[in-house]
Structure formats: C-alpha cells, structure tokens
Amino acid sequence: MTDTPTQLLQLCANDLAPFAQICDVYAQAALSLGAQCTTIYLEQRAADPVTEQTHAGQVGYLTSQGSEPVKTNHKEAGQALTALVAELGLSNTPTLTLSHRYRTYQALKASPIRGQTNLVVAHEFGMFNRWQRRLSQRWSSTGFQFAGISGAVADELASATGQRLVMPNGLDHLSLQKRLHKPDDALAALQAQGRVTPGTEMLIGLIGRLHHKKRPHLALATLEALAQQPANPVGQAHLLVVGDGTLRDSLEQRTADGNLPVTFCGFVPDAPSTLTAFNVLLMTSEPVEAFGMVALEALTAGLPVVAPRIPGPMSVLGDLGFYYDNSDDEQALAQGIVAALAKVQALYNSPDFTRWQQQARQRVRDEFSIAATANRLAPYLS
C-alpha cells in the first residue's frame, strides 16, 4: 500500500497580475517541500493562460478566456470545481487547500472537497464587513482557518473569526533579479528615454493602476510642491507614471500646460523589470492598501520607497521605508512626500546607500522569498 502523496490544492479567482505570480510562489514553495501542487483559477483573464508561462505545478481553469464566466452562484461554482478536480485526477481530501480571497473560499465551501487543513487568505481589508458574510462565517465555516497578508489584515480577521494568522505574499526574487534591465534599457522599455532631461537628479516612479484608491494625483501635487520650494531639496526631478486606469485623463489634463516634468508611460509589460530606471519608487495609496507588491519588488531591485505611514506598506518595508504621515489634506501630504524624498536624496549622497541596498535585499530573502513562503507552509504540509 502506497502512502498518499502530500498535496496542495490552491484556488484563485483569476490569473491576472499579481495573483498568478503570488500563486506561482506558493506552488514553488510547496514543490520545494516535496509536495504536489495544483493551482485552479476560476477564470482566465490574462491574455495567455499561465500554463503557457513559467508556473510551477499543475494548473487548471474552470473557464477559459472568452467563455461564460463562472457563475456567482456559489453552489454552481462548487459543482464546477468538483468536476474539474475529478477531471484532473485529484483527491477530494488534499493535505492543504489554500483559497485566495472570499470568492474561492465560497466555491470550495460549496463543494465536497476538504483538505486536512483549509486556509483562506484575505488579500485586502473587509472580508467580513458585510453582515451576511459575518453570519455565514459564524454558522458554516467549520474546518476553515483565515489568514491576512499583513498583520493589520490579520487583526481585522481576528475580530470576526477569533483567529490571527499572517501569510504575507511572496516573491520569486531571483527571477526578478534576472529580469531587471540596465537603467538605460529600462528607460527605453518605458519609452521615456528621450523625454527625460539629461542630468535629472531624481527619477520618481509611480507604478500601478490609476485608480482613486491609489491617489496618483498626490504625485502631481508633489511635483507642484517641489517647484514652489525656495531651495529644492532633491534637485531636478522627473515623474514617470507607469500604468493605466480611469484617472489617466484627469491626470493628463492637470499636466496639459507642460509645466510639470511628468511622463505618462501607460501600461508596460513586466513593469517590475523597469524598476532600475528610477531613483525612487513613490507609493500614494489610501490606508486601504493591505500590502504593496510593488514595494516588495522595489526592495528586490535595491530601490528606495517613499510610502504613506500605513500598515500595508509598512509590513513590507519595515524600517527600510521612507515614510510620510497620512492626511486628508493634499498639500500636507505633498509636503510630507517632499520631506521623504529629501531623505532618499541624502541616502544616495551618503556612504550608507550600498548597505541599505544589502539590507533591502536581505529583508526580501528572509521574509518574502520562496524559501520564506515554504517555511510558513511547512507546518501544514508535513
């Protein structure tokens, strides 16, 4: 009689970034522990299935791109999941199930599939804010454990579930390090090489969706504040906005007179590989930011990060971040960002910069690497 293999069944709503990369890290971590891993995405949303990319373990989809999306009816989603698990030849009793976000947890709960341990990972605040979810959790979540991607998310979950587990997102930092461009090549990939004035002292990167929760207008307010400084603390600066979204038109209108040194780069494939173009990464998120993958990628690139003093980014950056206090006042926020940028400039001008970069990369290895993720998974896959 052969022993039943150790198995991780991982569920995720879709394969868009950064979730495909996060799932791949968990898959690589499980494989490093000698476990089998299957990742099931409820929907294919990326242009190419992750099975055509580098993704560890077995991958399956409930629906492919262009097909009718998975029903929001949890019972139907559970039935589809059960059928796919059988089709893939998987056990209904894996060692561990790992459900990313509430939707996949509901699909799993509506199926007969149960692991020896069943973890649900919350990637944002508010998983149980709705009273219906709180009631459902109270009466029908037996056998599930809930984890947050940061301590603050875990604290919120604890008030609803009585459990406090932290499972931070991981990063394949070795892969990113190999993909990082040389600075000039990174600027070329951003199609910004000819737009940046030679001799610019500080290239500021803003990367992500141009969405109100990300507050990208603060980056423009910061440029305006810098222009008004009697003695500019960071020298000549240029902002590169990488990403697209609903606010792009309004942001471009704000800069239409050409007085602000800003370039809108739009969507850039594999944007993390261009981090070497910048002198600093700027984060402007609202307090609802639960983590900050771009900050983690910046640490891997040895790039200082200016971020609001809120729990999500702080859980990633620790003592290595350059923080400004959160406020409802745009001018106060902009002045705080200017002060943080001045500290970054001082770091560049000091002999401590190389040591800071070493500490940044060490933090990624110790806390967020595939090996660190494997250490967190090991108790559940032993």
Q: What is the pLDDT of residue 1?
A: 36
Q: pTM of the entire structure?
A: 0.94
Question: Token pair of 64, please?
Answer: 């492919």
State how far the Cα of 103 lies from the Cα of 159, in Å rounded to an integer. Answer: 20
CA quadruple 70, 72, 74, 76: dihedral sign: negative
Helix axis angle, 293-300 to 353-367, nearest 10°: 120
Q: What is the pLDDT of residue 66?
A: 64
CB atoms within 10 A of CB 213: 13
Q: What is the pLDDT of residue 139?
A: 55
- φ/ψ (deg, to 5) at 251: -65, -40
Q: Indicate the Cα dihedral angle 42, 48, 53, 59, nearest 10°.
A: 20
Kindly write down the DSSP assignment for every residue of 302-321, as one continuous string: T--EEEESSHHHHHHHGGG-
Q: Could you give the C-alpha distances from 125 to 145, 150, 152, 189, 350, in angstroms and in order?
A: 16, 10, 8, 34, 38
Question: Token pair of 67, please?
Answer: 């097909």
Nearest to 300 by CA among 285, 320, 282: 320
State how far the Cα of 76 lies from the Cα of 362, in Å rounded to an integer. Answer: 45
- φ/ψ (deg, to 5) at 259: -85, -20
Q: What is the pLDDT of residue 361?
A: 98
CA quadruple 19, 23, 25, 26: dihedral sign: positive
Domains in the chain, start-ordered, CATH in brackets? 7-167 (3.40.50.2000), 173-366 (3.40.50.2000)
State how far the Cα of 159 lies from the Cα of 155, in Å rounded to an integer. Answer: 7
CA quadruple 284, 288, 291, 294: dihedral sign: negative
**Tens of pLDDT along the chain (382 residues)?**
346 799 999 999 999 999 999 999 999 999 999 999 999 999 988 878 887 777 899 999 998 766 666 656 788 899 999 999 999 999 999 999 999 999 999 999 999 999 999 999 999 999 988 766 765 666 566 789 999 999 999 999 998 888 899 999 999 999 999 999 999 999 999 988 777 877 778 999 999 999 999 999 999 999 999 988 877 778 889 999 999 999 999 999 999 998 899 999 999 999 999 999 999 999 999 999 999 999 999 999 999 999 999 999 999 999 999 999 999 999 999 999 999 999 999 999 999 999 999 999 999 999 999 999 999 999 999 8
Element (H, E) at 207: strand 202-207
